[in-house]
Amino acid sequence: MVRGKTQMKRIENAASRQVTFSKRRNGLLKKAFELSVLCDAEVALVIFSARGKLYEFSSTSIRSTIDRYQMRVKDQGQLTTKAFQEDMEHETNDTQTLAKKIESIEASKRKLLGNDLESCSMEELHQTENQLERSLKKIRAKKHQLLREQIDKLKEEEKNLLEQNAKLREMCGMQQLGPSRKSKHGDDREVFQPQTPNVDVETDLFIGPPKRQQSGRKP
């Protein structure tokens, strides 16, 4: 028969609670004894029941184990305090170093802008000049790069416009051709016939029998 898992909550029944306490207490005392013997460990175990009864086990003595524990906690507290102080000193040093770097950067920035140059030596002025020249080279290089990119973009747009214009001219040329007419042969063939120019013809109206046309006209 499989035993169900015990739920981790207070046992409401007093008798069941006392039985469980006795079983678990004996098992815990047994485990503490085995640990001290098998592993040569210093073990101290103190148990108070719900009614206040004391149960204890110690591989040496309860008092010596408690004294040893208190000494260890005190030492660890001192180590923790010392480590905290060292960390604070380290953070303070880092903050001071960072503040000096910021101050140096601000001073260099003012010099690059042409301010606070009175206290500069010849060497410092030379370094500032070299730094400005390097900055100008980088700026010019970036400017030329942007110009090249813009030129390439404009060329690409020009190419696209030329292609579109060529397509439009081709479409317009096809629309300007004359309309197709049916062939006289009666089939479905279509031929293109050029448009003939208009010819002006003069006609005269005569009453009476027809006469031979004279070469000239009477005024």
Say which residue, 209 or 36, is predicted with more confidence: 36
Residue 117 is predicted with a pLDDT of 78
The residue that leads in pLDDT, 179 or 157, is 157
The first and second tokens of residue 15, run together, are 């008798």
Question: In the prediction, which pLDDT does 207 show?
Answer: 55
What would the two tokens of residue 154 be?
Answer: 């404009």
Asked if pLDDT for residue 96 goes beyond 80, the answer is yes
DSSP state of 112: H
pLDDT confidence of residue 88: 83
User: Tell me, what's the pLDDT at 182?
Assistant: 47
Q: Are strands 190-191 and 44-48 parallel, antiparallel or unpaired?
A: unpaired
For residue 185, is pLDDT > 80?
A: no
Give the residue from 57, 23, 22 showing the smallest Cα distance to 37: 57
Pairing mode, strands 44-48 and 54-58: antiparallel
pLDDT of 101 strictly over 50: yes
User: N- to C-terminal Cα distance for the chain?
Assistant: 148
Record: fold of 12-76: SRF-like (3.40.1810)
Residue 106: predicted pLDDT:
84
Q: What pLDDT sits at residue 30?
A: 94
Q: What pLDDT digit, counting tens, does each position of 33-88 carry?
A: 999 999 999 999 999 998 899 999 999 888 999 998 888 888 777 777 777 788 88
Higher pLDDT, 135 or 23: 23
Q: What is the pLDDT of residues 102-150, one digit of tens each?
A: 888 888 777 777 777 777 788 888 888 888 888 889 999 999 999 999 9
What is the model's pLDDT at position 191? 46
**110/2: higher pLDDT:** 110
Q: Which residue has the tokens 């448009």?
A: 195
Establish how many alpha carbons lie within 13 A of residue 18's alpha carbon, considering only the half-sphere containing its beta carbon: 5
What phi and psi, each to the nearest 5 degrees, are found at residue 117? -95, -5
CB 113, CB 128: distance < 8 Å: no
pLDDT band at 171 (very low <50, low <70, confident <90, very high): confident
**201 or 48, higher pLDDT:** 48
Is the per-residue pLDDT at 158 higher than 70?
yes
Please give the residue that has the higher pLDDT: either 93 or 201: 93
